[in-house]
Structure 1
Amino acid sequence: MKLKVGQIVGRKSYQCDILFRISSINGNVAELYGEDVRLVADAPVDDLVAITEDEHRERRKKEKEKEDNCYYLFRQDSRVIKKRGDYEATSGYSTEPSYFEIRGRVLHIDGDSMYLRKCMELYEKLGVPVYGVHVVEKEMPQQIDSLLEMVRPDILVITGHDAYLKTRGNQKDIKGYRHSKYFAETVRIARKRVPSLDDLVIFAGACQSHFETLIKAGSNYASSPERINIHALDPVYIVAKISLTPFMDRVNVWDVLKNTITGERGLGGIETKGFMRRGMPISDYEDEQ
């Protein structure tokens, strides 16, 4: 069976541990994008095996269970924050709750249009205001300034695909990474425009990204401390926590990481403040919108 672009495959040499989409085929080499993890890889075509629909469905079911568990844990935390907000806004429940919320606005820049679509669906489920745009990693430094000017976000996500390539250098060398240098440069430009770590919260990185460089460039959160793969939806869970946390509260790093699919081996960051603000009263006009 001849392989084609868009097909779901596994690598025989890795026992098909990760499912990939074929992005392009050049001669005997295929470029692969992770189906559920933000990893890009090259592989000989003869090392690839097509994944059947039944196997893909079974693997997707297992991934969905992990995603649903993270969503459940996140909603639990959100309910705790909501109850505390109700208590504070009603002077200990002495009055009826009547307030509105302005949540932190996210600009999500993604190098993968399919992942972006999945992330946008999750943002909507979590109630996070977001503007999403697909930009290939190499073009992100050229696009970031105009996007920040247009959207004026509270939170910025810079992600897509990445990979550590042993043939390019050791793990400490930024040149050994496929897209980390573009993520880092994008962060630097954004941080030049908004220097304060509290005025613009930034998440940057993908699978196996150079964590230390991204943090030094000005990210609040980044991947990947142990150079492992991260799940496609992990950036959403990180920034959603910040978007929905009251601006008077600090977000503990562990509180952010515990609800991600990958955890602290693949994600890390620094203490950050929340962005959500409450206001009152709710006007009749607002109720009609």
Structure 2
Amino acid sequence: MKRITYLEDALVLMELTNLGIEINATVGRLSYGCDVLFRVIDIKEVNGQKTAILFGEDYRLMADSPIDDLTPIDKKERIRRNQEFRSLEEQSLQLFRQDIHLLKEKQEYHKTNAYREDLNYFQIPGRVLHLDGDPTYLQKCLDLYERIGVPVNGVHCKEKEMPERIPALIEQYRPHILVITGHDAYSKSKGKKSDIGAYRHSRYFVKTVNEARRKVPHLDQLVIFAGACQSHFESLIHAGANFASSPQRVNIHALDPVYIVAKISFTAFTEPVNVWDVLRNTLTGDKGLGGIETRGVLRTGMPFKPVVDD
């Protein structure tokens, strides 16, 4: 019997491979018009039907789908979609850099008494601890942090393990800003949108925020972003997140958390961060992201005089 089972599995896997449906393949869901591109992470048998476990290529969305609802995406289409997203990312990055430039000009104006004093000063942006359920997305985010100049430590951790690991990670890295993200999804078949049990990973994100707030209760001493695609926004905010996804239960872009926390990292601790100013340069906007009034975490010191060896 086992030999027959193995043979059947091998034949099914061969058939799927011939269709281009294999682990790490890029696919689209026919029933959704291939609106989102996914990576195939795993293929399982659910209720006698071959089902693929999917991660979004550019959105922090996790889904499962019957194999017969999937179609491989050819290289030409992947390149076209990729170019569209990279263009949007660059536009968002340019707008963000303009914001940071204006912030720095404003800070310089105040520190130098309207440019009447020549002061040498230095600035320390807020340190970020980025906890991510997807190693590929984590690396993309770390690359963007580096381009922007935000000090960051990145940790890959499965969503279910995050609540247990976060206390020790906070002790180890002592961040000013914490990002808790990965993949999520709302399933209508599991309940109403108000029911956190209807979400794939929201309850783990909520537990992680709760554990982080046990360590650092004050909202301005540790700024938290939490959530992924379609996450239970209200529960995350009530648990103690400063910013979260997703108010309208829509998909969020993989890099959106970076733009939010980078703006906070470069805003002075004496200044409040306007929620709309944070959201307007993200790729998703206020349908997928929201938050509460929060202070920045950047600190300025002086004097800045490089040490010269004798």
Report the counterpart of residue 39 of structure 2 in structure 1.
Answer: 21
Is residue 108 of structure 1 aligned with residue 126 of structure 2?
A: no
Letter in 1 for 2:87: E
Aligned mate of 2:278, from 256, 262, 286 = 256
**Deviation per residue, 1:243-289 (Å, 9 max, x gap):** 0001110001101110110000000010100000111111323x89x
Is the 8 Å Cα contact of residues 10 and 20 (structure 1) preserved in structure 2?
yes
Aligned to 2:287, what secondary structure does the other structure show?
coil
Is residue 11 of structure 1 aligned with residue 29 of structure 2?
A: yes
Pick which of 80-89 and 107-116 moved more.
80-89
The within-5 A match list for 1:25-64 is 25-27=43-45, 28-64=50-86
Residue 89 of structure 1: how far off its partner (Å): 2.3
Residue 94 of structure 1: how far off its partner (Å): 2.6
Is the 8 Å Cα contact of residues 120 and 305 (structure 2) preserved in structure 1?
no
Larger Rg: 2
Aligned to 1:264, what secondary structure does the other structure show?
helix
Q: Which runs of 4+ in 1 moved over 3 A?
A: none
Aligned mate of 2:297, from 267, 275, 288 = 275
Letter in 2 for 1:117: Q
Report the counterpart of residue 213 of structure 1 in structure 2.
Answer: 235
Give the Cα separation in 2 of the matches to 1:252 and 1:52.
Answer: 42
Residue 96 of structure 1: how far off its partner (Å): 3.8
Letter in 2 for 1:108: H
Give the Cα separation in 1 of the matches to 2:42 and 2:204.
Answer: 21
When the two structures are superposed, what TM-score results if normalisation uses the length of structure 1? 0.97
Is the 8 Å Cα contact of residues 86 and 97 (structure 1) preserved in structure 2?
no
When the two structures are superposed, what TM-score results if normalisation uses the length of structure 2? 0.90
**Deviation per residue, 1:96-151 (Å, 9 max, x gap):** 45211101110000000000000001111111111000000000001101000000
Is the 8 Å Cα contact of residues 9 and 49 (structure 1) preserved in structure 2?
yes
Aligned mate of 1:170, from 192, 198, 211 = 192
Query: How many residue pairs end up in the alignment?
Result: 287
Report the counterpart of residue 68 of structure 1 in structure 2.
Answer: 90
Is residue 153 of structure 1 aligned with residue 170 of structure 2?
A: no
The within-5 A match list for 1:174-213 is 174-213=196-235
Give the Cα separation in 1 of the matches to 2:36 and 2:188.
Answer: 19
Is the 8 Å Cα contact of residues 105 and 153 (structure 1) preserved in structure 2?
yes
**Deviation per residue, 1:173-222 (Å, 9 max, x gap):** 01000000000000000011111101111000000000000001000000
CA RMSD of aligned residues (A): 1.2
Is the 8 Å Cα contact of residues 106 and 130 (structure 1) preserved in structure 2?
yes
Is the 8 Å Cα contact of residues 159 and 182 (structure 2) preserved in structure 1?
yes
Give the Cα separation in 2 of the matches to 1:93 and 1:284.
Answer: 22
Is the 8 Å Cα contact of residues 23 and 33 (structure 1) preserved in structure 2?
yes
Give the Cα separation in 1 of the matches to 2:305 and 2:181.
Answer: 38
Give the Cα separation in 2 of the matches to 1:276 and 1:234.
Answer: 20
Letter in 1 for 2:29: R
Letter in 2 for 1:10: G
The within-5 A match list for 1:109-148 is 109-148=131-170
Is the 8 Å Cα contact of residues 188 and 198 (structure 2) preserved in structure 1?
yes
Report the counterpart of residue 77 of structure 1 in structure 2.
Answer: 99
Aligned mate of 2:257, from 235, 239, 244 = 235
List runs of 5+ in structure 2 lacking aligned partners: 1-17
